[in-house]
Structure 1
Amino acid sequence: MIDANILVVDDNKSVLSALEILLQFEYKSVKTLFNPNQLSSFPKLEEIDIVLLDMNFSAGVNTGNEGLFWLNEIKKKSPNTSVILMTAYGAVDLAVSALKQGAADFILKPWNNERLMATVKSAYELRKSKLEINKLKKKETHLKQVINEGKNLIIGNSKALNSVLNLVKKVAKTDVNVLITGENGTGKELIARELHRLSARKDEVFIGVDMGSIAENLFESELFGHLKGSFTDAKEDRVGKFEAAHQGSLFLDEMGNLSLQMQAKLLSAIQNKSIVRVGSNKSISVDIRLICATNCNLEQMVADGLFREDLLYRINTIHIEVPPLREREGDILVLADFFLKRFGGKYDKPSLKINSAAQEKLMTYTWPGNIRELQHTMERAVILSEGDVIKPSDFLLHPKPHNELGNSALTLDDMEQQMIAKALEQNEGNHSAAAEQLGISRQTLYNKLKKNQS
């Protein structure tokens, strides 16, 4: 027996009895109504899976308008209930009108029992499908909320930060492409998430991609997806990041690390607002809000022939520069206190305080690694602290002077960091030129910079 609730509405008691007898051996519950007006007060109508509804109730009337009226009333209260309309006065235009207004099917009286049972079974499957779709939509909405929540923590009230946030509020209302620049660790992704949170796409997904970590041979697969069998390891169809971000926001970080070939493929997708999966020739339209970020000077890279000028124009409709921590006067201690509470709770040290000398040490340090370095510094301090007070000695800060390569107390890692910093300074932040001066690849330089910030 099928676990379904059926309601039959007809002013002919013989029809009600016949359908009740026919259906009761197949379905869990079969109820009947003689007067359609009772539908207005019918309890828990949304729990009815199928309604078999007559189309004419008044004597001498056979237009079907009454049935269409009650069809709409049922749909208002229970949109997912499948409604099958019944009439002895069939006409093609009436059937078409009924289906357009949401009926699952249309049955002529007198009916064929087998055909009626098949129609009811199909209507029940339709009802189940609608409920499953609604369930999946609710689950998707919940997952989007979980993914997006708790990641928009922008801490601070400095003039420099508020200036950025004011620009973010203005830009978020639009769908223009945004380029976010700033040093490593300044919180570029947080700014991107804030753009998404304040936009009309806030209820959709935010997809972030570290472009510097994608191998060139996997670039198209990662961003555009692939079909099963399109290359050796393609064991199943895969949706790329562009398609996954459809109707949401796509955040492409570390844009300065793309090769010219990768840039060309990316430009094509942005221009055409469509992608083609690897192994396919079918174009798939994508609707995304594009946000890019880099710590590189892209204009200098364009001048050096390392970045496409047309791609820069595409991603740079609005430019947002995130200030380094040393320029956010007053935010250092606010952020330090925020991380202190977070890690104090994590490591069961909720009573920790930072004494004045330690605060002074935090304030006078230049924070080359910005917020990320402050976060790691505070976590180490909480772990190493003894008692309820964090002292200056609990902060393991390592200023990196550029002119002390001869200092015998330096470790090999310290010397390497100083050489990289000096090369970047001499080349005005141009990573490609600095890498060439150091005799390493740009990717190796990038990896070493990320290692030094961790």
Structure 2
Amino acid sequence: MPKDGNILIVDDNKELLLALKLYLKPHFKQIKTEHNPNRIKEHLQKEAFDIVMLDMNFKAGINNGNEGLYWMQEVHNIDADMPVVFITGYSDVELAVKAIKKGAADFIEKSWDENKILSTLRSVYELQKSKRAISGLKKKQEHLKACINADNNVFIGQSEAMQKIMNLINKVAPTDVNVLILGENGTGKEVMARTIHQSSERKDEMFVSVDLGAIHENLFESELFGHKKGAFTDAKTDRTGRFELADGGTLFLDEIGNLSLAAQAKLLAALQNREITPVGGSRPIKVDIRLICATNMPLQQMVVEGRFREDLLYRINTISMELPALRDRKEDIGGLATFFLNKQADKYNKGQMSFSAGALKELKSQNWPGNVRELEHAIEKAVILSDKDLIEVEGLFLLNQPGNIPDADCFNLIEHERLLIEKAISNCKGNMSKAAKKLGINRSTLYDKIKKYEL
């Protein structure tokens, strides 16, 4: 059975340190000893420990335990959850109770009782493991609640292009290889990533999605790696990063082509080492994730231009697959439209609804620069505004229909901005970088406005 548990023992009695190390070494993964309490901080910042064993009295002739309490506070200043087990030469129950009230996990006496020492440390270690497991579950539960309403549509499509994609997913999903998904915005890259996760061995663990295009450069490390309380001005509490949340499951990094070179270097280091260090923290945290990335940007070309790291590209695209644009699989539009119609009708309590033959024909004639996402939003709008069970052509409110362009006398800035953004995206065939450039704004601002107008 593999040994686990790392223990730091701090006592000024070097003979006792040696005896404890020799006795405990067969029972735990690592035993580190230190006779100078001033080096406690150095040890805790370099390595991850599960228990700190601490002498109550370091100076000769002093036996009130105040030194031990002081150093325990120093330990808890570094890691508030670190269990401290005191080593005392005095069987004074009052002193032991005082220490436990102040936050000690337990205590052992220097009078050598092997069974007592081992059983105490084992109990403290198992309790600490349970607390960490519960804490991890709580963090994941919070993230799960935040994502409970996420779009979990399955892939729909009988086109040859989609059948090839599904065949590839069936081969790749059961493995743990990194996957890079390419395709225009709105083609369903996140839905594809979720499908891979649900078909993998990690399906019972977390699927954590991160939109890198919407994360400010200064918040990249905090979002992905987490941060400690006080790490920066607004860090009022500890925050768990997305890597840690996804531990054991799948991490989906959308819009990875949007990362700066500096952020790419930090991401590469985390992927290579399979560990992250929270901002303001000092101890690395091991993570076990299945990585799926997505982008609509030409990464190979960006490598040539020096805008994307070649080593990172090799790391993320063990398997790459490209989702076709909706205009290239128009035979799937009917099925998708019907699926979205039933979904939205149920959402808005509209009962049974259907499309007229003309409406379906009109849907299939559109180019859909926003792809599946645009199609769903168009149908949601039609459902909301419809007073009938049958949706006709005029009830689709498509952009190229008369009456959907603001009147020349309309001075509503919001309406003009929304349509201008739609036009730019359509003109650039869904390429968000080009659309943002045409509009004279950056990509993150464009994404904010897309979310605002639900485009």
How far off is 1:323 after superposition? 1.2
How far off is 1:278 after superposition? 1.1
CA distance 1:318–1:123, change in 2 (3 Å): closer
- The residue correspondences of 1:366-405 to structure 2 (distance < 5 A) are 366-399=367-400
CA distance 1:394–1:409, change in 2 (3 Å): farther
- 8 Å contact kept, 1:208–1:252: yes
How far off is 1:399 after superposition? 4.1
Asked if 1:208 is matched to 2:192, the reply is no
How far off is 1:202 after superposition? 1.2
- The residue correspondences of 1:54-453 to structure 2 (distance < 5 A) are 151=152, 153-399=154-400, 412-413=416-417, 414-415=419-420, 417-419=422-424, 421-422=426-427, 424=428, 429=431, 431=433, 439-447=440-448
- 8 Å contact kept, 2:184–2:431: no
Question: CA deviation digits over 1:96-117, x for unaligned, max 9?
Answer: xxxxxxxxxxxxxxxxxxxx9x
Structure 2 unaligned regions, length at least 5: 1-115
Question: CA deviation digits over 1:405-451, x for unaligned, max 9?
Answer: 9x9799844455445654x47xx9582x7655665434345545666
- 8 Å contact kept, 2:377–2:454: no
Rg larger in 1 or in 2? 1
Cα distance in 2, alignment partners of residues 256 and 175 from structure 1: 22
How far off is 1:294 after superposition? 1.0
Cα distance in 1, alignment partners of residues 170 and 317 from structure 2: 17
CA distance 1:216–1:150, change in 2 (3 Å): closer
- 8 Å contact kept, 2:224–2:243: yes
Cα distance in 2, alignment partners of residues 188 and 130 from structure 1: 37
How far off is 1:322 after superposition? 1.0
The alignment partner of 1:363 has SS state of helix
Cα distance in 2, alignment partners of residues 256 and 186 from structure 1: 16
Stretches of 4+ aligned residues off by more than 4 angstroms: 122-150, 407-412, 419-422, 433-439, 445-453
CA distance 1:368–1:308, change in 2 (3 Å): same
The alignment's TM-score, normalised by the length of structure 1, stands at 0.62
How far off is 1:394 after superposition? 0.4
Letter in 1 for 2:249: G
Aligned residues: 329
Cα distance in 2, alignment partners of residues 416 and 144 from structure 1: 32
How far off is 1:362 after superposition? 1.0
Cα distance in 1, alignment partners of residues 337 and 196 from structure 2: 25
The alignment partner of 1:350 has SS state of coil
Paired position in structure 1 for 2:46 = none
- 8 Å contact kept, 1:144–1:204: no
The alignment's TM-score, normalised by the length of structure 2, stands at 0.62
Paired position in structure 2 for 1:52 = none
CA distance 1:217–1:286, change in 2 (3 Å): same
- 8 Å contact kept, 1:141–1:203: no
Question: CA deviation digits over 1:213-250, x for unaligned, max 9?
Answer: 11111111111111222211222222211111111110
CA distance 1:369–1:317, change in 2 (3 Å): same
Cα distance in 2, alignment partners of residues 309 and 284 from structure 1: 26
Question: CA deviation digits over 1:146-177, x for unaligned, max 9?
Answer: 86898252222222111111111111122111
Cα distance in 1, alignment partners of residues 134 and 245 from structure 2: 20
The alignment partner of 1:292 has SS state of strand
Q: Pairwise CA RMSD of aligned residues? A: 3.9
Cα distance in 2, alignment partners of residues 345 and 430 from structure 1: 32
How far off is 1:344 after superposition? 1.6
Question: CA deviation digits over 1:366-406, x for unaligned, max 9?
Answer: 11111111111111111222222111000011149xxxx9x
